[in-house]
Amino acid sequence: MDAADSINIDKIEVSTPFLRDADIAELAQWPKVIAALAQAYAMPIKPAMVPARIMARGEGFWLRSLCAVSPSGEYMGCKLIAASPKIRRASYLISLFDQRTMELAALVDGNRITDLRTAATAVVAANAVIPEGTLRVGVIGSGSVAKSLLTALLSVREVTLARVFSPTPASREKFASAFQASHSLQLETVDNAQAAIDGVDIVVCAARSRDESPVLLGEWLQPGMVVLSVGSTLPEQREVDATAMARANLIIADMPEEVLHETGDALVATRDGVDVAGKTVGLAQVVSGEVPARRSASDIVIYKSVGTALQDVVTAEMLLREALASNRFQLIPAGVVTIDR
């Protein structure tokens, strides 16, 4: 610190709100998360507000940071992910800073945030393409992300038909039983992915095969389908095949550059001659109305997600507002020093 820098004692935080995992579980309401993200994506978002993520690697572990400035004008923040595939453990922490004062506003346990923002943003995309009416839904996958996405969709839309495929019969039966109990939804279980999506409006694709071969083939797609692909985010991962990318009239991406250059789906399709870049647009462009989601009801649209810090920060700031309003947080009797520079 330069000699000219001085610590303003009046601005030293004596305590910091901390939102625990249990607080997030109580505070998170799907319609509110979806609404917050829809509002954020409808606002101007400059590229500098959501820079590329960075990762520091060790032997068998890594630390990833994702930073963003919320378009709300309230907070900016960073999600840190410490993970070790070697020992199968991970921790998530989100820090929120006040854009106006630069002070630390809160710390948030990020454990549930990823599933929340992934599912809610996919619903924002689905609503942008099919803004009204009842929906028929086919689900490929029966894990936590598939469960979150269908739960989020059911919180704001009426679903008249639903099917699920998972390669493990017990898993898909458990998945269906859970939704029967929680939503009285008659969710049909089927024994192959093509049967799951036959005649549906929304395809929820939240699964990858063990050998990373695509679980959704383009030849199965029917006119007017909207595919929500959220299960493959790295170059070595694949979820939809090149034919699906080729048949899509529009590909909506939460982070276009990362989708194009860092997902196996886009990389393989581009290698096979598909003009993926030419038909890919940002989610903000669609939600804001800059780009129409589709020009015809028969258009096939793919939403491809890698996840962004914008989603993390917007979700966390919405939860912080809810926590402060309901006094649902813990105070840490310490803070960081904010200085005058």
Give domain limits for the chain: 6-114+310-340, 119-307
User: What is the per-residue pLDDT for 7?
Assistant: 42
Phi-psi region of 276 (alpha: psi -120 to 50; beta: other; left: phi over 0): alpha
Residues 6 or more apart whose Cβ sits within 8 Å of residue 130: 201, 202, 226
**pLDDT by residue (tens digit) across 5-20?**
444 444 444 789 999 9
**pLDDT by residue (tens digit) across 237-253?**
889 999 999 999 999 99
Task: State the virtual CA torsion across 65, 81, 76, 321 in degrees, nearest 10.
Answer: 170
Question: CATH fold of 6-114+310-340, please?
Answer: ornithine cyclodeaminase, domain 1 (3.30.1780)
List the chain residues with pLDDT less than 70.
Answer: 1-13
Q: What is the CATH number of domain 119-307?
A: 3.40.50.720
User: What is the per-residue pLDDT for 74?
Assistant: 97
User: What is the per-residue pLDDT for 9?
Assistant: 43
User: What is the per-residue pLDDT for 232?
Assistant: 75
User: What is the per-residue pLDDT for 268?
Assistant: 94
> Bridge-partner residues for 18, per DSSP?
107, 330
* 293 vs 162: CA distance, rounded Å: 23
User: What is the per-residue pLDDT for 299?
Assistant: 97
Residues 6 or more apart whose Cβ sits within 8 Å of residue 71: 40, 43, 44, 45, 49
Pair 82, 63: CB distance under 8 Å: yes
Pair 115, 315: CB distance under 8 Å: no
* 49 vs 30: CA distance, rounded Å: 25
CA neighbor of 78 nearest in space, from 328, 310, 321, 337: 310
CA angle at 140 for the pair 231 and 172, rounded to the nearest 5° = 120
